[in-house]
Each structure stands twice: as structure tokens, then as C-alpha cells.
Structure 1
Amino acid sequence: MPEDEALTQEEIDSILKSMSSGEPAEKVLEEFEEENKRVKEYDFRRPMKFSREQLRTLQLIHESFAREISTYLSGRCRTFVDVKYASIDQITFSEFQKSLNSPTYIAIFSSEAFAGSGILQMGLDLGYTIIDRLLGGSGTPLEESRVPTEIEMNILKKESAVMLRMLARSWSNIEEFDINLENLETNPQFVQVAPSNEMTILITLSITIRNVQGFINLCFPSSTLEPLNDKLTTRMWTTTYRHTEEFRENLKQTLMLSKLNLSAILGKAVISLSDFFNLEIGDVIRLDSFYDEPIDLEIENHPIFKVKIGKSKGFYAGEIIQKNKELLEKLLVEESMREYSKRNKDHLNKEKETTVGDEKNA
């Protein structure tokens, strides 16, 4: 203990008590200081509304959301876009408002599963970079921030609408719902989705496009997430994150319709490049197999079957005599997952085209 630090009355009483019981005073003082370290301050004006488990579930949801945005923006901007989950905090709504610069891009959204509205906020440096890439530019942000034009706001509105659909998909492990884009703002002071002293959940995603780095913020007032509080547990996440029967059936149908390359390898040989260029009609190449031996029947360049060569109804044919079941199952599952991912991507592209068509009609 420093010489200029005086003992409190409580510390003096503890030392005197230890002396009467025969316990060393130094040990009692150490225990007292250790107990003080475990005491944490609690501000009743800023109560924590969410437990650690609920925060962990929210983190899992938005880590999935970050991965989806990264894939989507990489395709839209024709360059690699890195989006990562950065942090989650509990702050008041007024603190969130004060942390934002003006102008900025703010999308206010709602859902039937929420008890109020949420906010998706993105810095305009990122916004202008995305717009520049979408319009064929190099993705250079503006030197001075300004309020977006009507055309620029419509472009950002379309992109944020797609992001919000991805957000709904990320939440589907907890609750399935649709998200509606309600309004757009550029001045944080004009946004009032909750009382200034209400606690909110602020999720921050770090996003990097080429040499431009910024953040996307998602703000949920505590009252907005109140209907889902009971479901914000890792237990609910793990139990709901299972393949449904519909998913299994779709995967099976995709697997049955998969097209694979099939090739029979009669034999192999190694020759020099000079011999290869000097080959002529009538030349004979010795293979590494005999005519009466089984040959490999390959699927996507994987030797799955052993077959005997023969003829059937006037055509050359192969009779399967041996099968590698484990390798075949692995190959078919990999191919089906590729087909399934391709279909999901095609479906997402159709959604984008539908959104563009709706905006043009509007």
C-alpha cells in the first residue's frame, strides 16, 4: 500500500478483528481489497436490458448477416468486399444519435415480429463508393461529404432493401418474418424511433471496399426486440438451426437431377513430347493395362467403378463389377450442394430483377 494512502475505518475494523482472531492482518487486508475488485458499478439510469446469452445469440445472427452482405456486395461491386462483425453494445438512443455524423444514410425498417422500428445506418463514404462501383467507376469516395441526390438515394434504397431481406434470412433461425423499409433519412436528429433515454442494442459491422473502410450500424431499441427476448438464447439457435423435411426433399430432388461427367479409362501411357508430335495413323501405343482386365469408370475424374468392357445391342458397353460407395456418396453430395447453391443464387438474382422492375414501374 502506498505510504500516502490512509486506511478507511472499515479496513481498520477488519484488521483489528483479524488480530483478535489470530489471523495475520496483511492477509485480511488482501482479502478485503480482492473483494472490492469484484464489485462493479451499476448505473440505474442505463440498465442493461440483455443478458450475455442473448448478446451471444445476437452476435451469431449478425455474423451470418455479415457473411451474406460480403457475398452480395462483392458481386454487385465487381470487387472483393470484406464485411465482418465488429462489436455489440448497449447504449441509450440519444448516445447513438450523437455518435452519428450529419449527413449520413439511415434506413428505418420494421416487421410484424418487432414491437417497433429499427435502424440500418451506413456512412456516406461507403455509400458513395458503392454507388460509384455500381455505375462503372473505380469506387473513389467523395472528398467532401454532402447530402445525396434523389437518384443516389434511390440507388442506396434499393441496395439497403436487399440487405434487409438478408437480415430477415439471418434472423430466420430464431423467428421467420419479413422486414419492411419504412423511411430514409440523412439527418440523425430527425430520426425518433425510441425515447432518448431508452437502451438500445447497437451492432457494428466493419466493411472494406478496396481501400475504403467504414461501418454499417444496426440499432434495435430494447422495446423493439421485446417480443423476441425469450427466443434470444443459444439453445433456441441450435434447436432451430436444423434442416427441415422440405429442405431434405429439395436436396434429394436436386441430387437426382444432377448431371455428372462419365468416362471409361481404357488405359494410360507415358510418352515423350517428341513421340507425341511424331504420331501417325497406324501407330500403336502400349497401355498400362491388358484387354481382359477391368478398367476404371470415372465420375468427375474420380475412379468410382471397376467395369468389364463388352458389347450390348451393337454398342460398346461396360459391366460394373465393383463400386466405391464412400467416394460416390461424397461426390454426389458435393455436386448436389453446388447445384443447390447455384439455385439459391439464381433465385436471389430473380428477386433483384423483380425489385428493379417494381422501382421502374413506380
Structure 2
Amino acid sequence: MSELLSQDEIDALFDALTTGEIDVKEIQEEEKKQAVKEYNFARPAKFSREHLRTLEIMCENYARLVSNYLSGYLRIGIPVQVISAEAMTFSEFNNSLSNPVVLAILDVKPLTGPMLLELSPNLCFAFMERILGGAGRGMEKIREFTAIESTILDKIVQKMVSLLREPWENVIEMRPRLNKIETNSQFINLIAPNEMVALVTFNIAFGGIEGLMNLCIPHIVIEPVMDKINTRFRFQSGNDSDEIRVDKNVEALLKRTNIPLRAVLGTTTMTVREFLQLEVDDVIMLDREINSYIDFYVGNVLKFKVSPGVYKNKSAVQIKEILRKEDD
């Protein structure tokens, strides 16, 4: 509700109109003028705040996956955190790169065009020193990578690139793949200089070393799925598929679980004296007839009745009966 004027304020307003201090026509003309919004054609606003916020949330998931991978691979805790997500032109990003640079060029099928993943060279040298048995202190002076170092780095980056699949699964079934690693930023001309990109910056802490990792996402690459890059769509999709995804993950883990299997020919009992007197060629009589099936255990659970035999010159059993319980 608008604020009510007092009688003194009303009288002052009429006096101003009478003396000409306030021009009614001028007020009306100003109200008719349309508000003009500035637009920078050199930096078109293709990424809204909602887009950047959603990309930041997706990359927080990616940071967790990268942290788990690096911590397990290098046998040391390596926290990875998202620092910022901002929009800029590709030329601004490219001009901020130093040489040598570790810049992975990614294919993100079915999307058309590349994404870029940039790693701090000092961090890369620290990772390789750790892998090769050192403490992982990095390099005081950055140099070019040797052939062996490039091979090791390629393996690490390939795994980090593959981890992009999960954070994007609610937007698109992405198939990320490492195309190549470029070490000279001057040769990177895959994207137009004035093309807008979203730059997500991560901080990686490795022992006493900290470095940055940047994920460069060109607008032209993700333009076909921009309508899905918002928090509302992401959380709705996530809620619908969370239960199915958990079931599939549990099923996949169970299928990879190793289970001990054992076939028991039979059992018997004897005294300690009899056990100590056993010698080669002695015969131990079991509690099972020769024509009866033997017990087959899965873990500690009796699941099958089987008959022994030979298959491809190896001992084997053939399932003759499946034992089912009410809770199976």
C-alpha cells in the first residue's frame, strides 16, 4: 500500500503546482519514456545467473569425484573445491594462460565442439613425482614435459575426463573423451575469440602445494541443452531417478562381489590319537554313500546338491538340485 500524504504535504504540493515549480507536462513526458537497458555486444549475456549456479552445483559433484580418484590413486588426501563460476569471452580465458600449459581438449559427444580442462603445471609435476616414488613437492622452475611424464599425465587426465559423465547425466548422456593435451596456449584456436564461455575454477590442495584447475565450457557447445541447465530441472530429474540409480549401483556392486564357493565331499569324526597316527595312503571313511550327492556351499549357506566329475581335465561339479528357502 502506498504511503498517505498528510494535509501539510498536500497543501505544499498544490502550492508548487500553482507557482510553476512542478511542471505536470514534464512529469507526464518522463513517464512515457521507456527505460533503456545497456547491452554490451562485445560480451553478450548468454549465461544467466541461474545457468552459472547450476553449472557450479554440477561441478561440485565433479570436484568430489576428482578428489576421490586422486586421493585413491596417489594414496594421500587431496581436497578439490569449486571456487567460482563466471562468464567471459574465450579470448579473456586464453590470454590468462601461461606457457607451458596443461590444457586438455575434450570431445563431449553427442554435443558438438570441444570443452577445455586446464591444470596447473606445478600440480601435474607434483602428481608425477608422487607416482614415481617421490614426496610430491612439485617443481621450482616449470619446464616442458618429457615423453614419460606426458604418458603418465595422459593417463591421469583421461580418468579425470571420464568422471565428467556422472555430473552431466541429468542434462545429457555425455560421452566425454580426451582428444589431446596441448602444452602451448598459442596454438589453441578451436573457439572464436569473442565466443562466450562459462569458466568454472577449482582449487586442488596436494600436500603443501595448491593449484587451480579450470573447466572451460563454450556456450556454443552446450546451447542445445541450455534449457535443462537450471536447478529446478536438475533437482526434479534427480528426484525421479535417484531411487533407480541407487538400485542399479547396488546391483552393479553385488555383481562384482567375489563369493567363496566350496563343495564338501563329506564329514567324519576321529580322536586326536587317530589324527596323529595318520600316514600317506591311509583311507578316511566319510559319512556319505558313494552314489549320493555332495553339498555345495555359497559362502556359508548350503545352496545346491551336486555330483563330482571332471571337465576339461579339471575337477568339477554338476548341479543336481537347488535348495530354496522361504526367504530366498
Deviations, residues 45-79 of structure 1 (Å, cap 9, x unaligned): 10111112111111111000001111111111211
Give the counterpart of 2:91 among 89, 94, 99: 94
Residue 249 of structure 1: how far off its partner (Å): 6.1
- Quickly say closer, same or farther: Cα 1:90–1:246, change in 2 above 3 A: closer
Q: Is the 8 A contact 1:83 1:206 kept in 2?
A: yes
CA–CA distance in 2 between the matches of 1:167 and 1:249? 19
2:206 corresponds to 1:206: no
Equivalent residues in 2 for 1:152-191, closer than 5 Å = 152-191=149-188
Aligned AA for 2:108? S
Give the counterpart of 1:68 among 54, 58, 65: 65
Residue 42 of structure 1: how far off its partner (Å): 3.9
Matched residues, percent identical? Answer: 37
Which structure has more helix as a fraction of its residues? 1
Residue 199 of structure 1: how far off its partner (Å): 0.8
CA–CA distance in 2 between the matches of 1:129 and 1:252? 37
Match of 2:213 in 1: 216
Q: Is the 8 A contact 2:202 2:212 kept in 1?
A: yes
Give the counterpart of 2:140 among 143, 146, 157: 143
Q: Is the 8 A contact 2:108 2:115 kept in 1?
A: no
Residue 170 of structure 1: how far off its partner (Å): 1.4
Corresponding residue SS for 2:86? strand
CA–CA distance in 1 between the matches of 2:70 and 2:176? 19
Residue 141 of structure 1: how far off its partner (Å): 1.0
Residue 20 of structure 1: how far off its partner (Å): 3.9
Residue 248 of structure 1: how far off its partner (Å): 2.6
Match of 2:222 in 1: 225
Residue 19 of structure 1: how far off its partner (Å): 4.9
CA–CA distance in 2 between the matches of 1:134 and 1:77? 7
Larger Rg: 2
Residue 83 of structure 1: how far off its partner (Å): 0.4
CA–CA distance in 2 between the matches of 1:246 and 1:219? 28
Match of 2:3 in 1: none
Q: Is the 8 A contact 2:50 2:231 kept in 1?
A: yes
CA–CA distance in 1 between the matches of 2:146 and 2:242? 44
Equivalent residues in 2 for 1:44-123, closer than 5 Å = 44-123=41-120
Residue 173 of structure 1: how far off its partner (Å): 2.3
2:124 corresponds to 1:127: yes
- Quickly say closer, same or farther: Cα 1:235–1:211, change in 2 above 3 A: same
Match of 2:231 in 1: 234
CA–CA distance in 2 between the matches of 1:67 and 1:250? 17
- Quickly say closer, same or farther: Cα 1:213–1:232, change in 2 above 3 A: same
Q: Is the 8 A contact 2:127 2:136 kept in 1?
A: yes
Q: TM-score scaled by structure 2?
A: 0.64
- Quickly say closer, same or farther: Cα 1:254–1:154, change in 2 above 3 A: closer
Q: TM-score scaled by structure 1?
A: 0.58
Q: Is the 8 A contact 1:118 1:193 kept in 2?
A: no
Match of 2:192 in 1: 195
Deviations, residues 115-151 of structure 1 (Å, cap 9, x unaligned): 2101010111000001111111101111111111111
Aligned AA for 1:53? E
Count how many residue pairs are aligned between Structure 1 and Structure 2. 231
CA–CA distance in 2 between the matches of 1:19 and 1:134? 82
Q: Is the 8 A contact 1:78 1:133 kept in 2?
A: no
CA–CA distance in 2 between the matches of 1:150 and 1:50? 39
Corresponding residue SS for 1:58? helix
Aligned AA for 1:229? M
